[in-house]
Structure formats: structure tokens, C-alpha cells
Amino acid sequence: MASPSGKNSIALVFLAAAMVVSCSTTQNSQTTPSDSSLTSAPGSNSAEPVLTPLTAATLAAPIPVTATDGEVHLAYELFLTNTLAQPLTLRSIEPVSNGVPLQSSISDGLLPWIRVFGATRPTETLGPGQSALAWIDVTVPSSSEVPEVVAHRISVAVATPNPPLLPAEMTEIVARTTVSTQSAVVIDPPLNGENWLNGNGCCGLTAHRGAVSPLNGQLFAPERFAIDYVQLTSEGKMFNGDRTSVNSYPYYGSDVFSVAEGKIVSMVNDLPEQTPGADPVGLTLDQFGGNHVVQDLGNGRYAFYAHLQRGSIPLEVGDNLTAGQSLGKLGNSGNTDAPHLHFHIMDGPDPLASNGLPFEIRSFDLTNRIMNQDNLDSVTDSGAAAQFATGVDTGRRSNQMPLTLDVMTYDVVEQGS
């Protein structure tokens, strides 16, 4: 739950893991077995053990989702650990399937996609025993081209080589991950009307994607696919007049609608509104979502509607919602610096101790796209008018996930209408 400008994120401090050392006969460089050799069963001798000083694992199996760029996205995170007692520099990370490179966010360079735990800036170097996260977004043209397995060809360099065990440069193929066969859930939109902007979503390294939190002894990425919705005026502005007044935001108080059928499993309705333009202080973890509703959609999926207006939820825990039912008003409660709706789907009922799941909106119009993040920042911070990208394929969309900076028109069929 971050600012709709996407500039707030959660800093992490974490400890590193252990190291298992094996032998190699290569003196100057080393490559671990190919992707296909990693299919050997546990305990098999078909793949010779090799030293991999950088260990890697995915936080969760990627789930394919079709987005408004027409591509199918696999958005996930790699947990990396330098097991050496010296610095290790990453040269490249290349997702592969059966040895064939896949197009990904990290294909054109590692920065800004890697962060060492506790650091505020991206880096390609991990110190002794340090761990980091790499945010990956693999894209393929169609669902028929989604790979069954994704592995990661990672090239590294060490400061003080010790051949033959530790050459100066090595290439590992690690973190072989089976892609989930789960489908993205298809939902109705949570808002109604024109010019709804996705100010903080998938699949770049926004504050939502970067919000990986250590809770209850493990890492969670609940906001992996979350959206912060704000509405632009016909002039392309988010607010008019005093930025610090909620009444300057014309969409403040808009109805928020249920995206599907399902029971309310938790809610908060009594937290105060925050002052726009200022970062909240003194919040406990359970107050980050502000006034909110958690809805059980079934099949292990939960919808989270956050930052609602105080006292605007006319419902109780246990009530069954229908798609298109009004459940509250868009507000500015909790961890927020401007009125917006934070919405995401997750794999558990806790908005923080859960993992984000992809979703596709059944039907909507893609009407525009903000030019870039700098322009979005000027819209949210100074009240400037939005500048829009050229060449955007606008029009009616079905069963697609909005991407960051998308501007959309939603048509909600309200219950009883």
C-alpha cells in the first residue's frame, strides 16, 4: 500500500544463507550443466556436481497473465545469495527455457532490477554473505508459447579467484522453476467511469513490485500485481487547488465495487483520513491498508480493497457480495499520501502475509497511457496535466491485466440496476 506515484517502498534487512562447495576442473571460467541436464531426478548422478557460489531460488512459481501490451507476462522474484567470503559481481541474468533465452525485463541490463537487502540503491555486486532480490518479468507473445520450465543462466565474477575451484568468471544455470498451470482470475472492474489511471502496478519495478516484506519468518510479495487507482480530470489532472485537501481530488468518494461474488472475511471501517501530500507516520502493520475489505473469491484467492473512506462500508464480516455491488467509498486512510483505491488479489486472507496473484479484467476500454514515470510524478506531486504516450493501441479490451501508466474507462453493471 504505497503512494499512487509509486515512490514509497519497503526497505528490508535480511541474513544470508550457507554454502555447499564442490569440485571443478576448469581453470579460467566455468559453466554449470545445461538447463536440460537439471531435469535429473534427486540423487541422480547424470549431472556432475559443480560449484555455484551464487545460489538462487524463486519466491513463488510464476503464473502467466495477459496484459494490455498483448504479451503474456511471467512476473516473479529471484532470491540471490553470495555464499563466498568475498564480493561477487553479477554480469548477467538470463531466463532460459530448454537452453533458449527468453525475453525479459532484465535482458537489457541488470540495473535497476537488483537490490541487496537493506540497500536503497540497485547494485550488481553482492558483498560477502549478502542476499538480494532480482525482479524478473518474462514476456512471450501468446499463451501457447508459455514455457513449462524457466531456468536462469547467471554469469558472475569474483574479486579473488582461486582456480580450479573458483575461477575469475563463471556461468551458472540455477533456479530451475516449473511455471504454474494456474490461470489468472478474471474479474469485473472495481471502479466505474472514465480516466482511471493505474499509477502503481505491474510489471516494472514500482513500489508495489518492490514491496517484498519479511513477515512471520518468511518473505511475502502481496503487491506483486497490485494497482493504485486515481482518476484524471478531462484536463488530465489529478487534483485542482490545495493539494493537502481531500476535496481537491474530484474522484474522492467514488463508489468502489465488488469485482466478483464472495464473502467478506475481514474489514476495517473506523480509521481516520490522512492529509494528502504528507507521508503518514506512526502506523502499525495492520493499519497500512487503512479502512478496507478483504473478500474471499474462492479457490484460494482473496480480493483486497484498501484506503476506503472512514465509515463508508455499509457491510459486515460474513456478508456475501455480488459482482458490481458497492462496498465502500474511495478514500485516503492508512499508508497513503493521496486519495486512491489500492486493489490486489492475493493467495491468503492477510493483506501483507500473502503473495500477490495476477488478475485479468473482463472488459474495459484502454483509452490512453501516461508518457513516463517522471510525468506521473509531476501529475501527483505538483498537479501538472498528464502527457500521454503516442502510438498506444487504444480500444476495447477483454481479459487483460492493466499495466502501470495505463488509463482506462470502466463500465460497472451495478447490482440492482
pLDDT in tens, 196-220: 999 999 999 999 999 999 999 999 9
- Write phi, then psi, for 290 (nearest 5 degrees): 60, -150
Q: The domain at 29-178 falls in which architecture?
A: Sandwich (2.60)
Contact yes or no for 238/380 (Cβ under 8 A): yes
pLDDT at 35 over 90: no
Please work out, in degrees rounded to the nearest 5, the angle formed at the alpha carbon of residue 307 by the alpha carbons of 235 and 225.
80
C-alpha cell at 153: 543462466
Please work out, in degrees rounded to the nearest 5, the angle formed at the alpha carbon of residue 350 by the alpha carbons of 348 and 355.
50
- Spatial CA neighbour of 224 closest among 315, 133, 143: 133
Q: What is the pLDDT of residue 238?
A: 98
- CATH code: domain 185-410 is 2.70.70.10
pLDDT in tens, 380-410: 999 999 999 999 999 999 999 999 999 999 9
pLDDT in tens, 41-95: 333 334 678 789 999 999 999 999 999 999 999 999 999 999 999 999 999 999 9
Q: Which amino acid is at 90?
A: L
CA distances from 229 to 232, 299, 346, 404 (A): 10, 26, 17, 10
Cis peptide before 122 (omega within 30 of 0): no
Average pLDDT, the chain: 89
Whether the model clears a pTM of 0.85, i.e. scores above it, the answer is yes
Instruction: List the chain domain ranges.
Output: 29-178, 185-410
pLDDT at 37 over 80: no
Rounded Cα–Cα distance for residues 390 and 369 (Å): 8
Rounded Cα–Cα distance for residues 167 and 23 (Å): 11
pLDDT in tens, 218-266: 999 999 999 999 999 999 999 999 999 999 999 999 999 999 999 999 9
pLDDT at 36 over 60: no
Q: What is the pLDDT of residue 26?
A: 32
pLDDT at 20 over 70: no
Give the pLDDT band (50/70/90) at residue 108: confident
Rounded Cα–Cα distance for residues 252 and 273 (Å): 11
- Spatial CA neighbour of 313 closest among 303, 294, 328: 328
